[in-house]
A and B are shown apart, each in its own frame.
Chain A
Amino acid sequence: MTAYVARRLLLLVPTLLALTVLAFLFVRALPGDAAVAILGPNASAESIERLRETLGLNLPLPQQYGEYLAGLLSGDLGTSAVSQRPIAGEIGARLPATIELSVAALLIGVPLGIALGRFSARRAGSAADATSTVVAVVAVSVPVFVLGLTLQYVFAVLLNWFPAIGRVTNSGAEERITGFVLLDAILSGRPDLLLDGLHHLVLPAVTLAAVPMAVTARIARAAYLAESRRPHVRIALAKGLAPAKVRRDHIAHNSWPPLVVVIGLQLGALLSGGIITENIFGWGGLGSLVVSSIRTRDYLVIQSGLLVLALIYVLVNMAVDVVNARIDPRLRSAR
């Protein structure tokens, strides 16, 4: 197992290196640059050129990449061209918000998806199955911003059940310890703030949970059905084993591996959907940072932001593989 993890970790190096190249080239393929974005339409060509020099945008691309990589290797993510702040700090300040939202969305989406999937698998072909299929298809195909704005309008504006934006009420009483609102509320022993944080979390988390919920439901249904049709299930039932026990030990358990893989992959949807969700709900996370940086062509922030997102994605998927190897002994021996 240790060797397996070590090898996966080693593979990270070329993956991330390729990623830095891709991110670097991607942002430079965007038309326009930060100097133009910062100085705006009234600026003279001369001052744009001067700022470009200050920002190092006039250097040859290989040199710019070399400097960026050298910085990365020494643990320096660089400096934002727009705010002139160190990027590591910018990302660090926003990461808790993104993680909190993603985890909440996973906690809502995955159990709901599994429950829905198994529910329809057990009733395959029934009206209930058809309904849940429709729900899943709708959830996966409604664009995140449409769902987000609609939920916001209905539940915040019309019904006033939940706040429309933000992570907290801004009462001034919050204490920033870890940057995780819920965790900070617990650490500082403030149940009111915990409730306030949860209250704010509901709409964005539900918005973001829609896609993972739907995908998980589809996979859970398929995996459950596939397992339930296998010969050993029939034999177990024929031997007179209690159906509930068969479902738990022979069907549900064996349908886990494909599910775990899909849940890991859902993180990609969470990270991309998170960018939109964060913008709608004024959720100051990594996603909104990347979006605003694309608008201002803040190259290094985009590069480093993407790198951190990708790193999370890669690490989680690695963790998923490891978990799977534990669940399914066949994966271990197959190595």
Chain B
Amino acid sequence: MQDRKSRPRGRLLVVAAVLSLALSACASADSNSQSQSSEPVDGGVFRLATVAEPAGLDPALVFDGDSYRINAQIYETLVTLAPGTTSEVVPALATSYTPNEDATEWTFQLREGVTFHDGTPFDAAAVKFNFDRWKNFPEALQSRAELYGTVFGGFGDAGILESVDVVDERTVGLRLSAPRPDLPITLTLPVFSIASPAALQEYGADEVDAASSEFANEHPVGTGPFVFDSWTHGDRVELVRNEDYWDEPAHLDRIVFKAISDAAARLNAVQAGDVDGADMINPRDVEAVTANSSLQLALRGSCNSGFVAFKSDQEPFDDPRVRQAVSHAINKEAIVDRFFGETGEPAWLLMPESIPFHDDSLENPEYDPDLARELLAEAGEPNPVVDFWYPTDVTRPWLPDSQGIFQAIAADLEAVGFQVTPRSATWTAYLQDSKTPAYGLFLLGWSCDYGAADNFYGGAFGYIDSAPNPRYQYTSDEFVAALETAQVAPEDQREAAWAQVQRIVYDDLPVVPFVHGSSSLAFSTRVHGYEPNPVLVEHLDDVWLSD
């Protein structure tokens, strides 16, 4: 494990490389490389236009991207992700960790000399307090702490977190009732941020009767490089530099997160110079950004896939040849070119290449309409009549233009013989109804919570109470056995075990992935050192502004 403190400050070079790649076609590449060589400058106010206000600043209870990013400045986790990666775990509040042989006991060494923003010390007792708090959330809060349940398999004694032990002031032990070899990466999730126990108690973080906690609105207290300053509801959240940060203090004096829900307005705001950066640039505006010499584009990279999904227990999709036909019918390259441009890559596995244990030996099934027609004929279904669903009123990195992408795929399917009836629903209804049999064929995607194979394959297709996920009805004992083996495989067997899982799903085709999509940000050329991250763990202490 690489120590975060000793990490070279050359992070900037990484992002600059990404940026100049993105800018290679335009004249500003020169000015950009100019700024690479200059030294970071301290000071300044960084204003970022976000999509929405955070849902809340109690990190344990929120998991929307806009809350994530703000909380990632105020709080820290025991371990975190190396800048720009989805799976490289590096130290944060813990300097090191050691698992026992079967990954059921984990010992964390904690960093010294860290204090919370309220002046109380960070120590083993504080870590235990936070873990105990999550584990024993009252029911009303459990329903909002979804990810704790996902990682530890449930709350209280129903989950696998048996106990959290204070070994000494700087050492904490986590004891699990079942192996969890990928515990470190799950602990990079911002929901496992360590908050000040004093503040949690004083400001009633767990009082569910008090309609909202003062902690989550007015007094979020962590150990991070920025300290909460104010939240003007309906408008903006402001943070200021933590002068007493245990690592080098941040460059910026202040960060303002300003919510602008309209994508065009966000872009106008950064072009007009009212903000220094804008999140979630519409893919069709990406070209305008790269063509503008006063702006730079930053791509997040992907931790997701968009796919065409089936109910594998339903006619005609219960016949694997029909699913294969769909896989060969879709012209993924054309769809990516047309709707994603730089912001997408054609996909054939559920997880992108950057995720550990991605099986590079599996290849993209060829786009071959003739083969698709043959497969349908073999299946005795040359012209299957299907309802094909897509969601309206939603954009996702894997679905920037829902209707357009739907139409392109539907046209591909019709070209090989399918008779498609378009069906649509609004996003929230869609999420709900896609679990019902009415949705035999539909567009959906999987965005990772954290960058691990288990989060993709276990999350999407793992059984729930010994039954397949109702959304896909993908029933395969072979898959389940392989998944369970991979989840607890010892280190030297993990690669082979996950390859097996990927192979089974690749062959069975419960879904046909077509894209790994990326979101992007636009910055003024004054901004340096912003490391975008597909799982939105974005630490802004290295961001600085030139004049």
How far is A163 from B262 in the complex, measured between Cα atoms in Å?
Answer: 16
Tell me if B447 counts as interface (CB < 8 A to partner A).
Answer: yes
How far is A50 from B142 in the complex, measured between Cα atoms in Å?
Answer: 9
Q: Is the CB of A41 within 8 A of B444?
A: yes
How far is A41 from B64 in the complex, measured between Cα atoms in Å?
Answer: 12
Q: Is the CB of B426 within 8 A of A30?
A: yes
B-side contacts of A145, CB under 8 Å: 262
Q: A20-47 interface mask toward B, CB cutoff 8 Å, 1 = contact, 0 = none? A: 0000000000111101111111111111
A-side contacts of B393, CB under 8 Å: 295
Among A159-195, those with CB < 8 Å from B are 160, 163-167, 170, 172, 176
Q: Is the CB of B211 within 8 A of A79?
A: yes
Tell me if B2 counts as interface (CB < 8 A to partner A).
Answer: no
A-side contacts of B275, CB under 8 Å: 165
Chain-A contact segment, one of B178-186, B231-239, B336-344, B364-372 = B231-239
Q: Is the CB of A84 within 8 A of B211?
A: yes
Q: Is the CB of B274 within 8 A of A32?
A: no
Contact of A284 among B143, B234, B273, B470 (CB under 8 A): B234
Chain-A contact segment, one of B8-16, B44-52, B89-97, B520-528 = B44-52
Total A-B residue pairs with C-beta atoms closer than 8 Å? 168
Which of B211, B258, B261, B264: most chain A CB closer than 10 A? B211
Quick one: given A42-B459, A284-B232, are A170 and B146 in contact (CB under 8 Å)? no
Interface size class on chain B is 35 or more
How far is A309 from B342 in the complex, measured between Cα atoms in Å?
Answer: 43
Tell me if A99 counts as interface (CB < 8 A to partner B).
Answer: no
B-side contacts of A40, CB under 8 Å: 63, 431
A-side contacts of B144, CB under 8 Å: 38, 51, 54
Tell me if B55 counts as interface (CB < 8 A to partner A).
Answer: yes
Which of B216, B428, B429: most chain A CB closer than 10 A? B428
Quick one: given A86-B211, A157-B268, A160-B272, are A36 and B217 in contact (CB under 8 Å)? no
Instruction: Give the shortest distance, in Å, between A56 (CB) and chain B (any CB).
Output: 11
Chain-B contact segment, one of A209-217, A286-294, A311-319 = A286-294
Tell me if A206 counts as interface (CB < 8 A to partner B).
Answer: no
Tell me if B70 counts as interface (CB < 8 A to partner A).
Answer: no
Q: Is the CB of A82 within 8 A of B426?
A: no
A-side contacts of B55, CB under 8 Å: 38, 82-83
Q: Is the CB of A32 within 8 A of B236?
A: no
Q: Is the CB of A297 within 8 A of B428?
A: yes
Tell me if B473 counts as interface (CB < 8 A to partner A).
Answer: no
Tell me if A97 counts as interface (CB < 8 A to partner B).
Answer: yes
Q: Is the CB of A93 within 8 A of B233?
A: yes
Among B397-450, those with CB < 8 Å from A are 425-433, 435, 444-447, 449
How far is A32 from B260 in the complex, measured between Cα atoms in Å?
Answer: 24
Tell me if B269 counts as interface (CB < 8 A to partner A).
Answer: yes
Tell me if A285 counts as interface (CB < 8 A to partner B).
Answer: yes
Chain-B contact segment, one of A3-11, A254-262, A275-283 = A275-283
A-side contacts of B447, CB under 8 Å: 41-42
Contact of B274 among A51, A97, A153, A166 (CB under 8 A): A166
Quick one: given A50-B143, A165-B258, are A289 and B232 in contact (CB under 8 Å)? no
A-side contacts of B234, CB under 8 Å: 90, 93-94, 97, 284-285, 288-289
Tell me if B101 counts as interface (CB < 8 A to partner A).
Answer: no
Tell me if B362 counts as interface (CB < 8 A to partner A).
Answer: no
Q: Is the CB of A292 within 8 A of B258?
A: no
Among B178-236, those with CB < 8 Å from A are 211-213, 216-217, 232-236
How far is A156 from B464 in the complex, measured between Cα atoms in Å?
Answer: 53
Tell me if A85 counts as interface (CB < 8 A to partner B).
Answer: yes
Number of interface residues of A (CB under 8 A): 62
Q: Is the CB of B272 within 8 A of A32?
A: no
Q: Is the CB of A165 within 8 A of B426?
A: no
B-side contacts of A30, CB under 8 Å: 426, 428
Tell me if A202 counts as interface (CB < 8 A to partner B).
Answer: no
Q: Is the CB of B464 within 8 A of A282?
A: no
A-side contacts of B49, CB under 8 Å: 165, 282
Q: Is the CB of B428 within 8 A of A31?
A: yes
Q: Is the CB of A157 within 8 A of B272?
A: yes
Which of B55, B259, B268: most chain A CB closer than 10 A? B268
Chain B residue nearest in CB terms to A161: B272
A-side contacts of B430, CB under 8 Å: 32
Tell me if A147 counts as interface (CB < 8 A to partner B).
Answer: no
How far is A94 from B235 in the complex, measured between Cα atoms in Å?
Answer: 9
Q: Is the CB of A164 within 8 A of B269?
A: yes
B-side contacts of A45, CB under 8 Å: 435, 464, 470
Instruction: Give the shortest distance, in Å, between B62 (CB) and chain A (any CB).
Output: 9
A residues apposed to B, CB below 8 Å: 30-33, 35-48, 50-51, 53-54, 79-80, 82-86, 89-90, 93-94, 97, 145, 148-149, 152-153, 156-157, 160, 163-167, 170, 172, 176, 279-282, 284-285, 288-289, 291-292, 295, 297
B residues apposed to A, CB below 8 Å: 45, 47, 49, 52-53, 55-56, 63, 139-140, 142-144, 146, 149-150, 211-213, 216-217, 232-236, 238, 254, 256, 258-262, 264-265, 268-269, 271-275, 393, 425-433, 435, 444-447, 449, 459, 464, 470
**Other CB < 8 Å A-B pairs besides A31-B426, A149-B265, A149-B268, 18 of them?**
A31-B428, A32-B432, A42-B459, A43-B146, A50-B142, A51-B143, A54-B139, A80-B212, A84-B211, A84-B212, A153-B268, A160-B273, A164-B265, A170-B258, A279-B261, A280-B262, A282-B259, A292-B52
